[in-house]
C-alpha cells in the first residue's frame, strides 16, 4: 500500500483501488475523493466507482497524468473532467467549479481553487463532502450527520438548488430511496412541489436516465408515492399512472428492469410514451411488445408455452405475465404461486426452432413456386400442433407423406 494513502480511512477500498489512488495522489496531491465514494466509505459499503476533485485546471491535470505515464482521457474538458485510466479502471478527476450562470437545465461554470465554493454548488449535503489523501473528511454543510440520520437535504436553499438544475428533483428521489429513512425533508418536498413544472424544460434523455435509476433502485414503491404526492408524476406522465399495479408487481418480486417497471407504472399509448422519452430502439420495442398478446397463463401446458416461444421472445412473454398478474391482482387463477410457477417453466424452456426450410420441400420433390410455401406451412402447422418437439427427421417424414400421399 502506498504510504501516501491512509489505511484506516480507506479500508473498504480494494488493493487495486488503493494502488491507483496512490498513483494519482503522487501526481495530484491536492486532489480529494468526492461524491459516492465518500458516502460508501462512511457507510462501510463496497466502493464501485471513484471520483475525485482537484483545484488544478483540467489541462494541467491531463498533462500531469500523461507525464507520469498514466492514461488520461479528456472525457469532459468543458466541464473540467479528465478520466485517469489505471488497470482498465476509470477514475474521473474534475476541477473545482463555481457556477457563473444557471438556467434550470445547464450551468456555465468557471474553475476555482476554493473547496467550499465547489461544495456549495452541489445538490445535497451528503454529496458535498470530500476526503483527502490524509483521510481527513471535509464536510462544510453537515453531510455526515445527515447521512447518519438518513436525511437527504439540499445544500442551502432547496428552491435555489432546484432552479439551478431541475434534474435535482429526480436526483432527490433517487437519493431518498437509497439513503433516506423516515419522512423526507419537508423543505425539499415543499420546494419540489412548487417547482415540479420545471421538469418540462429538461431534455427527455436526462429525465429517462434518472428514471431508470429510480425504477431499478431500492424502495421503489415508497419513492414513487413521494413523487406522486409532490406532483412530479403528474408532470412526467400526464397520461396517468397505475401505482397500485406497480406496487403489486414489486411485492411479488418483479425483476429490476426499468422498461418493464415503466410499463407497469404508466398508462396509455405505449408507442407515444416511447417516442416522448426517446427510448432506444430495443427499449421501445420491448415496451410496445409488453402490451401485446398472447400472454402465458398458469394453466398452460409446456406444449402451449413452446408454441408461444416460437413467435415471441422469452423476455417479452415473461414481462407480459408480470403485467397480467399485477393488473388482475393475482391473475386469472388468483394465485401468485401459479404465476411464479409459469415463469419458472417458461424460463426453463429453450425457444423451439422449426427445423425445415423451403429448400427441404424442393429437395423432397416439390416443384418451385407457391406450392413450396403452402407445403411448408402444412408441415409447420403439424409441428406446432405436436408441441414443437418433432425432430427434423420426423418433419421430413411428414413432408414426404404430404407430397406422396
Query: In the structure, what pLDDT confidence band is assigned to residue 335 with cuts at 50, 70 and 90?
Result: confident
The radius of gyration computed from the CA coordinates of the chain, to the nearest angstrom, equals: 28
Q: How many CB atoms lie within 10 A of CB 393?
A: 9
Q: Please give the pLDDT value at position 107.
A: 64
Nearest to 159 by CA among 150, 147, 168, 148: 168
Backbone φ and ψ for 374, nearest 5 degrees, come out as -60, -45
| Cα end-to-end span (Å), the chain | 81
Buried b (16+ CB within 10 A) or exposed e, 128-154: bbbbbbeeebbbbbbbbebbeeebbbb
On the CB side of 280, CA atoms within 13 Å amount to 6
Q: Mean pLDDT across the stretch 385-405?
A: 94
Quick check: pTM over 0.85?
A: yes
What does each C-alpha distance from 285 to 280, 290, 319 come to in angstroms?
Answer: 9, 9, 13
CATH numbers and ranges of domains, the chain? 1-149 (3.30.460.10), 156-236 (1.10.3090.10), 240-352 (1.20.58), 358-403 (no CATH)
Q: What confidence tens digit (pLDDT) does each residue in 124-161 have? A: 999 999 999 999 999 999 999 999 999 999 999 999 99
Nearby residues of 373 by Cβ (< 8 Å), 6 or more positions away: 358
pLDDT over 70 percentage in the chain? 94
Q: Please give the pLDDT value at position 3.
A: 34
Are 314 and 296 a contacting pair, CB within 8 Å? no
Identify any residues that bridge with 34 across adjacent strands, giving them in sequence order.
51, 130
User: What one-character-per-residue DSSP string does 53-68 give?
Assistant: EESS-HHHHHHHHHHT
Helix (H, G, I), strand (E, B) or coil at 209: helix
Query: In the structure, what pLDDT confidence band is assigned to residue 333 with cuts at 50, 70 and 90?
Result: very low
Amino acid at each position: 500500500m502506498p504510504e501516501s494513502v491512509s489505511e484506516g480511512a480507506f479500508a473498504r477500498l480494494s488493493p487495486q483501488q488503493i494502488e491507483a489512488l496512490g498513483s494519482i495522489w503522487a501526481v495530484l496531491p491536492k486532489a480529494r475523493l468526492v461524491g459516492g465514494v465518500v458516502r460508501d466509505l462512511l457507510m462501510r459499503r463496497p466502493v464501485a466507482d471513484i471520483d475525485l476533485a482537484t483545484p488544478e485546471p483540467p489541462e494541467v491535470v491531463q498533462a500531469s497524468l500523461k507525464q507520469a505515464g498514466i492514461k488520461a482521457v479528456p472525457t469532459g474538458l468543458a466541464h473540467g473532467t479528465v478520466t485517469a485510466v489505471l488497470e482498465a479502471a476509470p477514475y474521473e478527476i474534475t476541477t473545482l467549479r463555481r457556477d457563473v450562470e444557471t438556467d434550470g437545465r445547464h450551468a456555465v461554470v468557471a474553475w476555482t481553487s476554493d473547496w467550499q465554493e465547489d461544495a456549495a454548488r452541489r445538490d445535497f449535503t451528503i454529496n458535498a463532502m470530500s476526503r483527502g489523501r490524509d483521510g481527513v473528511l471535509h464536510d462544510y454543510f453537515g453531510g455526515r450527520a445527515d447521512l447518519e440520520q438518513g436525511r437527504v437535504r439540499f445544500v442551502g436553499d432547496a428552491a435555489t438548488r432546484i432552479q439551478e438544475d431541475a434534474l435535482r428533483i429526480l436526483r432527490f428521489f433517487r437519493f431518498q430511496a437509497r439513503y433516506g429513512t423516515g419522512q423526507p425533508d419537508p423543505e425539499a418536498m415543499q420546494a419540489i412541489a412548487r417547482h415540479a413544472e420545471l421538469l418540462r424544460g429538461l431534455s427527455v434523455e436526462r429525465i429517462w436516465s434518472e428514471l431508470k435509476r429510480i425504477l431499478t433502485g431500492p424502495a421503489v414503491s415508497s419513492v414513487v408515492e413521494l413523487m406522486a404526492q409532490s406532483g412530479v408524476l403528474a408532470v412526467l406522465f400526464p397520461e396517468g399512472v397505475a401505482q397500485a399495479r406497480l406496487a403489486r408487481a414489486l411485492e411479488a418480486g418483479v425483476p429490476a428492469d426499468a422498461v418493464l417497471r415503466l410499463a407497469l407504472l404508466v398508462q396509455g399509448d405505449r408507442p407515444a410514451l416511447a417516442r416522448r422519452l426517446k427510448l432506444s430502439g430495443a427499449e421501445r420495442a420491448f415496451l410496445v411488445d409488453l402490451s401485446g398478446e398472447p400472454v402465458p397463463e398458469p394453466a398452460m401446458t409446456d406444449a402451449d408455452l413452446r408454441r408461444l416461444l416460437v413467435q415471441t421472445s422469452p423476455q417479452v412473454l415473461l414481462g407480459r405475465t408480470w403485467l397480467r398478474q399485477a393488473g388482475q391482482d393475482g391473475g386469472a387463477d388468483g394465485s401468485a404461486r401459479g404465476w411464479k410457477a409459469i415463469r419458472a417453466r417458461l424460463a426453463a424452456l429453450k425457444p423451439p426452432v422449426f427445423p425445415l426450410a423451403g429448400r427441404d420441400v424442393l429437395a423432397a420433390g416439390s416443384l418451385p413456386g407457391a406450392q413450396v410455401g403452402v407445403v411448408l406451412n402444412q408441415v409447420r402447422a403439424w409441428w406446432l400442433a405436436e408441441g414443437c418437439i418433432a425432430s427434423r427427421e420426423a418433419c421430413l417424414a411428414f413432408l414426404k407423406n404430404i407430397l406422396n400421399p
